[in-house]
Amino acid sequence: MKELLQQDLSVVNVGLQSFAANITAAGGRATSVTWAPPAGADPALGWTLATLIGDPRIEAANTIAFERYLGAQPRLVDLVRAGEVMAGLGPGERRILHAGPPIDWPDMCGPQRGAIAGAILYEGWADDLDAAEKLAGSGEVALEPCHEHGAVGPMAGIISPSMPVWVVENTASGNRAYSNLNEGLGKVLRFGANSPDVLERLRWLGSDFFTTMQVAVRGLADPDLKPLMAQALHMGDELHNRNAAASGLLFKRLTLALLGSDLASDAVRRALEFVAGNDHFFLNISMAAAKSMSDAAAGVPGSSMVTVMARNGINFGIKLSGNGNQWFQAPANPVDGLYFPGYTVDDAAADLGDSAITETNGLGGFAMAASPAIVQFVGGTPADATANSRRMLSITLGTNPAFTLPPLNFGGTPAGIDARLVADSGILPIINTGIAHRQAGVGQIGAGITTAPMDCFTGALAALASGLQK
């Protein structure tokens, strides 16, 4: 013992950092290992987690789900009205789709209520805003999540029957996903705005713009989205909050498709000017592509792979591949971000939108290493962006070799969130997000970073374990 104490002290410290600090202060060396009890130190949940780690049934199911995700090939195949292709939105149906997990009208946040009222006016189901809000609260209009209809929408996420939707098909298995058009920034429906100028823009998007873009999409020489998205990652996008490169790449394809069309030049010019002036134009297509890829992995019994993450401005919800169509919800975590001048956290709505489907697929916050410039918008440093991507490797089944990150030596993005690894490590999926004002129609007031709440994952794992025992 005397000989041991005379040697240079070199300690591996597990747990509290203060123990290491004391050793260092005394002249020793200490290497700290960050550790916390798994499953939030809940004994029952810890035991459940222990039974799931290494379960050969789950491992086999996750292999199938992850391979289906990796094999997905999203292709932009059409732009059509929602009611023409989406079940439940056909003629005579009064149904509006919204972002996030299920929620009733009285419980919705301000932006989502404002956007639904605006969609009712857009459809002509009410003559004024008061009548639209009463109709929404009467139960005569069905309000359901986009994800229940194979669709996704940013922020409020509103899709109504006559709105145009992008159609993205995973050609590997034939499943399709849908998303609405991006209106640009400012006062827009997805932030709850429903004024006459907002509705006028929506009507133009649903008429002249729709006609022009439909011709362009149907005439695309190269409709494959995966290579375009991969190229955009190499050009500084992360395909959630930054889509400048992807929007530019799509603009070139759309322009070439329109050059030989018989459409009126004024209509073509106005449509292309709108696309060129909207750096977020590709976001909705990125989301539909991501939805088509994650849906390919859904429905594998026993799989702990996350296939949906979505928020409705109140709650955060997830789905696992192995739990069927079941939602697992918890209150949405606050957003740590940068606010536009004049706004603070007190003005903000809780995390909102289906756009976390990008993170579900290894993009967005998981691909921040590809987009160091994004930190000027959401906060942090370029080093933080790279660290975030590296940290997500701890909770994923693998990486996506189709989406590579130059700062990580062209390694693939972390992909295939495993709910078991989230609960075991305590590391939560990170999400880049915009911040909406809590009042309808004010618009975006900032952007930042948030995480999915742990209770979603622990609830989903408890259900998965119960299903395996049957």
Q: How far apart are CA 404 and CA 414, in angstroms?
A: 10
**Spatial contact of 210 and 163, defined as CB atoms under 8 Å apart:** no
Instruction: Report which residue type is found at 194.
Output: N
**φ/ψ of residue 11, rounded to 5:** -120, 140
Residue 28 pLDDT: 75
**What pLDDT does residue 22 have?**
75
> Is a pLDDT exceeding 80 seen at residue 429?
yes
User: For position 332, what pLDDT does the model report?
Assistant: 93
Name beta bridge partners: 179: 152, 166
Contact criterion met (CB below 8 Å) for 292 and 76: no
Looking up tokens 């009042």 gives 439
- Per-residue pLDDT of 53-76, as tens digits, reads 999 999 999 999 999 999 999 999
CB burial readout 399-424, b (16+ within 10 A) else e = bbebbbbebbeebbbbbbbbbbbbbb
Q: Indicate the domain borders of the chain.
A: 2-35, 45-69+296-469, 74-287
Rounded-to-5 percentages of helix, strand, coil across the chain:
45, 20, 30
What is the value of pTM for the model shown? 0.92
What is the C-alpha to C-alpha distance for residues 288 and 310, in angstroms, rounded to an integer? 13
Q: What is the pLDDT of residues 261-271, one digit of tens each?
A: 999 999 999 99
Q: Give the residue ranges of DSSP H helices in 9-91.
A: 17-25, 43-52, 56-71, 82-85
Region label for 97, one of left (φ > 0), alpha (ψ between -120 and 50) or beta (otherwise): beta
Q: Token pair of 343, please?
A: 């706004």
Burial status of residue 162 (CB atoms within 10 A of its CB: 0-12, 13-18, 19 or more): middle
CATH class given for the domain over 74-287:
alpha beta
- Domain 45-69+296-469, CATH number (from 3.40.50.970, 3.30.70.1230, 3.40.50.2020, 3.90.1700.10): 3.90.1700.10
| Beta bridge mates, 33 | 14
110, 324 contact by CB (below 8 A): no
Q: Is the pLDDT of residue 419 over 70?
A: yes
CA distance 228 to 413: 15
Do 461 and 420 form a contact (C-beta atoms < 8 A)?
Answer: yes
In this predicted structure, the answer to whether residue 40 has a pLDDT above a threshold of 70 is: no
3-class DSSP assignment, residue 320:
strand
pLDDT tens string 273-296 = 999 999 999 999 999 999 999 999
Q: Which residues contact 325 (CB under 8 A, 6 or more apart)?
A: 148, 319
Nearest-5° angle of CA 300, CA 305, CA 311?
A: 115
Rounded to whole angstroms, how far apart are CA atoms 164 and 162? 7
Strands (E), 321-395: 328-331, 336-339, 352-353
- Helix pair 208-218, 196-205: axis angle to 10 deg: 30
**Is the model's pLDDT at 18 over the cut of 90?**
no
Over residues 184-239, the pLDDT tens digits come to 988 899 999 999 999 999 999 999 999 999 999 999 999 999 999 999 999 999 99
Q: Please give the structure tokens belonging to residue 88.
A: 């439940």
Q: What is the pLDDT of residues 379-414, one digit of tens each?
A: 788 898 899 999 999 999 999 999 999 999 999 999
Whether the predicted pLDDT of 4 surpasses 70:
no
Asked if 445 and 460 touch (Cβ cutoff 8 Å), the reply is no
